[in-house]
Chain A
Amino acid sequence: MRIVIAEDGVLLREGLAHLLADEGHEVVASVGDALELVEVVQRERPDICIIDVRMPPTFTDEGLRAAIEIRSRWPDTPVLVLSQYVEERYAVELLSGQTSGVGYLLKQRVADVRDFLDALERVANGGTALDPEVVAQLLARARRHPHDELTPREREVLALMAEGLSNAGIAQRLVVTGGAVEKHVTSIFTKLGLEFAETDHRRVLAVLRYLEDRDP
């Protein structure tokens, strides 16, 4: 894949570049601020951008804003946003509109190389990758309205669906068969009264809408 990295920390930028090169990907550009990022994306049209939220000059959320801009100008360019902290609010902003080709992960997830590369692959192919911590925040909200009758296992499956995993991915993570996952998924969609979604990222959208609507 042809990848653009936007990250102002040199150590992390180099680390990422090495890790991606080891995996056979091509880092076509690495930039240190958001303005440059947008220019580079326009020029290079990469297969995916990896973007840090905090960058110069203000060190607040320019990476996030650049990601949103890139998604609106080039909707078929996937973005994977990395951050020191993950916040529900940022996730909602990032995912508003469409959930295909979007990732939002804690920076430290890079340390779990295999999972990180899977997430990168998923987002590059139009899927979704949401950090378990954001999902946990969303689920914590839903917990406050305990009238849904999901079993503990179904809640686990719901969380992994929200992260953007496919049935096969969920089966692998929970060490169960694909058939068992399918059964859980059907049951969840029935219990929550959600319309069944065909593709994985549509499924993420449905689940997120559900979790957000629980917000009073």
Chain B
Amino acid sequence: MPIGIATFTIVVTGFALGFGLLITLLGIPILVAMLYVSRGMGWFERGRAKLLLDVDVPRPYRADPPSDHWWRVPVSRLTDPATWTEIVYHLLLLPIGVFTFTVALTFWVLGASLLFLPVYAWALPHPVHAVDSWVKVTLGAQPHLELLGGGNGWVIDTPIEYVALVLIGAVILLLTPWIVRGLATANRYLVRGLLGSDVFARVQTLTNSRAAAVDLAAEDRRRIERDLHDGVQQRLVSLAIDLGRAKEKLDTDPERAKELVGEAHEEAKRAISEVRDLARGIHPAVLTDRGLDAALSSLAARSPVPADVHVDVAERPPASVEAAAYFVVSEALANVAKHAQATRADVTLRRSGDRLTVKVEDDGVGGASLVEGSGLAGLRDRVGALDGELHLLSPRGGPTVLMVEIPCGS
């Protein structure tokens, strides 16, 4: 409850002050500061919920967009629904705290005092008003208890009534833990609902991302089929034709036959390279064997635009996350080479806690977008399927920053 009072005061004062002074512009910094204060308190409350109520509440916030302007982060946070439900929670904390506190205390005290009434009834001075305003204990020569009402309520003065009262006290005491637990459960739902993420929004997101993942898998299969058909198969057909012609010419024109075999040899080697590239495109073996650092170094080394890779990932994320991160960088570098007219690119991977952040920056002309059907939109779906988020910042004139955040599970 003291925490409730504190948060209530801070939120009400801060936001009242912020909105009140909005007209003088002085309110803006106060409001921005309040966003951070509210998050801080949210963090504290989630910690408290974990410690006392044993609920693990995931951070509900959207990932911050890459910051090219100072106002981007505050604006994104201000429009994040999670920010507002969190503020509602801070405001509700006080009334709920008061209610919970009162109910819990009343039940404990009432139960205990009724149960032990015979033990201390003789020691009470005369007359005495105890237990609660609607229970009045009066002890005189003949100790008796009067329930509900000033002087004309239910008077208890026989041993049977005492026994009944003690029994009621016992029942109340036995019930109290359940009631307190019920209150804690209600509190838990409140914490989860307001400090965590919205369940319905979550279901919607999951439905969408699952559909996108299915589409993506189908698209991938179509692409592989196309690559096999247009690339490797064509090469093998051409190789077979060359060899067939060489066989025909072997006796009549050995020089020409030798040339044709040479061509077939080249064609066969190209087919091998194509199969190799295709397989690497489906899944790079080195990623499984050595992880992101090795796989991305090799990717960067093959990139036409010079790319520097910095990987700060101590513990390897799950394979699906590694693969997604790899394809993000692969697609991003391919885009840089194709469209950005950049002279260099920087790839940064960092794992902090259970989140993997991938950032690809270039110094090109910008103007990239997430139009449907583009490689970047495919990446967004791939990342979305893992509950991750993708942000693209690419003003005309550049530079382009692609940022991806993927949870690593636990």
Contacts and interface: CB of A to CB of B under 8 A. Distances in A.
A140 B306 CA distance: 8
B352 interface: no
Given A108-B273, A137-B301, A138-B301, A61 B289 contact: yes
Nearest to A86: B298
Given A61-B289, A89-B298, A84 B279 contact: yes
Given A84-B279, A140-B301, A111 B294 contact: no
B308 A85 contact: no
B69 interface: no
By secondary structure, the B interface counts as: helix
B286 A87 contact: yes
A84 B306 contact: no
Contacts of B285: 54, 60, 84-85
Contacts of B294: 87-89
Contacts of B298: 87-89, 137
A33 B93 CA distance: 65
Contacts of B290: 61, 87, 89-90
A214 to B, nearest CB: 11
A147 interface: no
A108 B308 contact: no
A60 B265 contact: no
Indicate the member of B265, B268, B286, B303 with the most A CB atoms within 10 Å.
B286
Interface in B258-287: 265, 268-269, 272-273, 276, 279-280, 284-286
Given A84-B276, A85-B276, A216-B308, A111 B268 contact: yes
Give the size range of A's interface with the partner: 20 to 34
Interface in A98-140: 107-108, 111-112, 136-138, 140
Contact of B301 (A60, A61, A90, A136): A136
A42 B213 CA distance: 51
Contacts of B187: none
Contacts of B308: 144, 216
B306 A144 contact: yes
A90 B287 CA distance: 12
By secondary structure, the A interface counts as: helix
B302 interface: yes
B279 A89 contact: no
Contacts, number: 55
A143 interface: yes
A111 B239 CA distance: 14
A44 to B, nearest CB: 28
B275 to A, nearest CB: 9
A143 B344 CA distance: 11
A141 interface: yes
Interface string B297-312: 1101111001010000
B288 interface: yes
A63 B379 CA distance: 34
Contact of B272 (A111, A138, A140): A111
A172 B280 CA distance: 33
A89 B272 contact: no
Contacts of A141: 301
B306 to A, nearest CB: 5
A87 to B, nearest CB: 5
A84 B286 CA distance: 11
Contacts of A90: 286, 290
Interface in B32-81: none
A143 B307 CA distance: 10
A61 B294 CA distance: 14
Nearest to B266: A111
B8 to A, nearest CB: 52
Interface string A141-161: 101100000000000000000
A111 B288 contact: no
A137 B302 contact: yes
A89 B280 CA distance: 16
Interface of B: 265, 268-269, 272-273, 276, 279-280, 284-286, 288-290, 294, 297-298, 300-303, 306, 308, 344
13 contacts: A60-B288, A60-B289, A61-B289, A84-B276, A85-B286, A87-B290, A88-B298, A108-B269, A108-B273, A111-B269, A137-B298, A143-B306, A144-B308
User: Which 3 pairs across A and B sit closest by C-beta, in order of nearness?
Assistant: A137-B301, A89-B294, A140-B301
Given A60-B285, A85-B280, A140-B303, 7 more contacts: A61-B290, A84-B285, A85-B284, A107-B272, A108-B269, A111-B268, A144-B306
